[in-house]
């Protein structure tokens, strides 16, 4: 195709060019307010979800010649952009993209033409990888809250992963462990306000090496009590405080070097064998982590108590925690060098819960609901804006289409969660027939987000929540437009989740249950008004395979994500989304993608067999 041009001022142009736009879209072109062209969508066989139209503009007047115009180009990666006229150098032309629904009979549901698809139905097509495109150069940083065009978000995460607002997943231990790796947890809200606030407070006080002592005892306890405490916590260093609490007056420390069980009968009082306060090296509040580490190394200590002027124990700094801090360069910290922590809320008691969570130090909130396209969420966000303005960040959801996205965007949500019924323990689709395939939902909401950004200049991140089965689904969700993910089952498998580890049939498992299960009874999450309580279950109680520590497993997952992005020629998530190419796969090609037509050794090796 040729370049745009003309014979002079007032020339009449006749030119055909290709416009790419979304399904159910319509393009209207005007010349100085006069209709110039209108075109509906038609299927493009080269792409599963992109559509094309051919535009003929033959009466665009008043255009000046433009000798340096590039060829009109056609490409499926052009996104909806009301500023596209600048690219074509049409000074008087505006191009408007609008959704258009098919006409349908009265009293009949609207039908989406395309099926509802899952992540497993797609694959990525590799792109060119340059010499600098290596996994170590990949940056997985992602925005967490909305921001204006040309600005930076107030909150970002260093890896695009958050843990779900679930009893079986996100407590203060998970919050610390995930923030240490660069992600963030939303501490669950299906508990008393005071208990949730206490979890937030504990996670925030774990200030990148400064921890609140969780092994404490009074000086009048005995050696037997010390042994029981050590067995319960797994920690050999015990703070001795006047009242046995984490923030009591420090009177001494007990370590494994202070007693010998073989030479003691167990009735000895702690005060008789502890190392007393006057022989301890301590530090005052305000000591930096570097200063604390210098003291530890200079005096060959394993731990350093931080004690205020009244002698109250404030924090403990352990040598091993500093080493861990240095080994985690991506850890997610706020301006006070504390871990970033999120918290879930509901649409019932938010007026009491939110102030308590903010006072405890929560950095961001998220409405925990199975369905976010509701007046209740709008009212909750409005209450936050009325009482806190934009100083408190709040996410909303869940939605599965552009209509739901636009509702929550207009309501003022800082990020929007996508997904209904895709979680491994969720049975909402079975119980109510409500939901959408997660891949289709993410694609649709991403398109709405992009259109909203082009129209308003405000970018609202979207979070893909549910539907993740395999590690490669992480990158597929990002390629489809998600900014970050929320995961339940994945994090429930690790040591850091708050559930019990049990042995089932000779294999270790972790308990995992949904918020809509009879065990959790989180009726507020499914609240549609009316009486309190859970009318029927929308979740199950289950087990997931025990996988060990979060750090080890997450490291493997992130390595796969970085490698996949490099295969597509991208070093950042935005670049990955721009360059990614997706293809639908058939059932046969899914089989082809795994091991096939061979006999796997582990399936036939006799018990006790070892290869030599």
- Residue 400 is classified by DSSP as -
| Contact between residue 365 and residue 345 where contact means Cβ atoms under 8 Å apart | yes
Cα 128 from Cα 356, distance rounded (Å): 51
CB atoms within 10 A of CB 118: 16
The 3-state secondary structure of 94-132 reads EEEEEECCCCCCCCCCCCCCCCCCCHHHEEEECCCCCCC
Taking a C-beta distance cutoff of 8 angstroms, is the pair 445, 463 a contact?
Answer: no
Distance CA 344, CA 349 (A): 12
CA 174 to chain centre: 14
DSSP string, 574-607: HHHHHH-EEEE--HHHHHHTS--SS--HHHHPPT
The candidate with the shortest Cα–Cα distance to 200, out of 357, 67, 59, 347, is 357
Strand partners, 333: 339
Q: Crossing angle, helix 472-479 and helix 438-456, to 10 degrees? A: 30
Question: Which strands, in side-by-side order, build the sheet including 238-241?
Answer: 216-217, 238-241, 250-254, 275-276
Known catalytic residues? 426, 525
Alpha carbon distance 306, 327 (integer Å): 23
Measured distance CA(548)–CA(550) in Å, rounded? 7
How many Cβ atoms sit within 10 Å of the Cβ of residue 371?
22
Please, what's the largest Cα pairwise distance for the chain? 105
CA distances from 13 to 9, 19, 51, 82, 89 (A): 11, 17, 26, 22, 13
Provide the 3-class DSSP secondary structure of residue 187. strand
């Amino acid at each position: 195709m040729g370049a745009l041009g003309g014979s002079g001022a007032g020339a009449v142009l006749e030119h055909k060019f290709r416009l790419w736009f979304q399904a159910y879209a319509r393009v209207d072109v005007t010349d100085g307010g006069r209709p110039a062209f209108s075109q509906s969508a038609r299927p493009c066989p080269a792409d599963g979800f992109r559509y094309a139209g051919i535009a003929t503009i033959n009466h665009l007047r008043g255009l000046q010649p433009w000798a340096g115009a590039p060829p009109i180009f056609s490409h499926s990666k052009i996104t909806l952009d009301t500023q596209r006229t600048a690219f074509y150098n049409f000074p008087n032309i505006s191009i408007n993209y609008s959704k258009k629904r098919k006409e349908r009979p009265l009293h009949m549901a609207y039908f989406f033409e395309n099926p509802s698809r899952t992540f497993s139905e797609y694959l990525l097509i590799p792109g060119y990888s340059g010499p600098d495109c290596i996994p170590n150069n990949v940056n997985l940083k992602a925005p967490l809250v909305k921001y204006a065009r040309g600005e930076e978000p107030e909150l970002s995460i260093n890896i695009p992963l958050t843990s779900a607002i679930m009893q079986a997943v996100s407590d203060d231990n998970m919050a610390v462990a995930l923030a240490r790796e660069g992600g963030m947890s939303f501490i669950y809200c299906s508990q008393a306000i005071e208990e949730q606030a206490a979890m937030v407070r504990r996670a925030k006080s774990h200030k990148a090496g400064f921890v609140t002592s969780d092994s404490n005892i009074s000086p009048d306890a005995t050696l037997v009590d010390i042994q029981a405490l050590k067995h319960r916590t797994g920690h050999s260093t015990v703070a001795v405080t006047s009242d046995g609490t984490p923030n009591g007056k420090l009177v001494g420390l007990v370590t494994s070097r202070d007693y010998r069980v073989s030479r003691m009968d167990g009735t000895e009082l702690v005060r008789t064998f502890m190392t007393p306060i006057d022989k301890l090296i301590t530090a005052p509040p305000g000591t930096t982590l570097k200063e604390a580490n210098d003291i530890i190394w200079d005096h060959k200590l394993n731990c350093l108590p931080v004690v205020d002027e009244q002698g109250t124990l404030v924090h403990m700094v352990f040598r091993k925690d500093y080493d861990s801090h240095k080994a985690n360069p991506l850890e997610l910290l706020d301006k006070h060098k504390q871990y970033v922590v999120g918290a879930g809320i509901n649409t019932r008691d938010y007026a009491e819960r939110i102030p308590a969570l903010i006072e405890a130090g929560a950095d961001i909130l998220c409405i925990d609901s199975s369905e976010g396209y509701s007046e209740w969420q709008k009212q909750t966000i409005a209450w936050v804006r009325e009482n806190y303005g934009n100083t408190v960040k709040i996410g909303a959801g869940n939605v599965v289409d552009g209509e739901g996205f636009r509702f929550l965007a207009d309501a003022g949500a800082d990020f929007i969660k996508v997904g209904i019924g895709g979680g491994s323990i969720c049975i909402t689709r079975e119980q109510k027939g409500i939901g959408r395939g997660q891949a289709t939902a993410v694609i649709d909401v991403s398109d709405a987000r992009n259109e909203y950004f082009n129209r308003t200049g405000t970018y609202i991140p979207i979070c893909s929540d549910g539907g993740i089965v395999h590690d490669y689904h992480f990158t597929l969700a990002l390629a489809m437009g998600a900014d970050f993910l929320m995961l339940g089952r994945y994090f429930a498998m690790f040591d850091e989740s708050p559930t019990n580890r049990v042995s089932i049939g000779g294999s270790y498992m972790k308990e995992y249950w949904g918020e809509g299960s009879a065990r959790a009874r989180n009726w507020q999450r499914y609240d549609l008004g009316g009486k309190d309580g859970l009318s029927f279950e929308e979740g199950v109680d289950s087990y997931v395979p025990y996988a060990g520590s979060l750090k080890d497993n997450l490291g493997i997952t992130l390595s796969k994500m970085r490698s996949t992005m490099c295969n597509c020629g991208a070093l950042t998530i935005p670049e990955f989304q721009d360059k990614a190419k997706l293809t639908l796969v058939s059932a046969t090609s899914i089989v082809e993608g795994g091991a096939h037509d061979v006999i796997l050794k582990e399936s036939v090796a006799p018990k006790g067999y070892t290869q030599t």
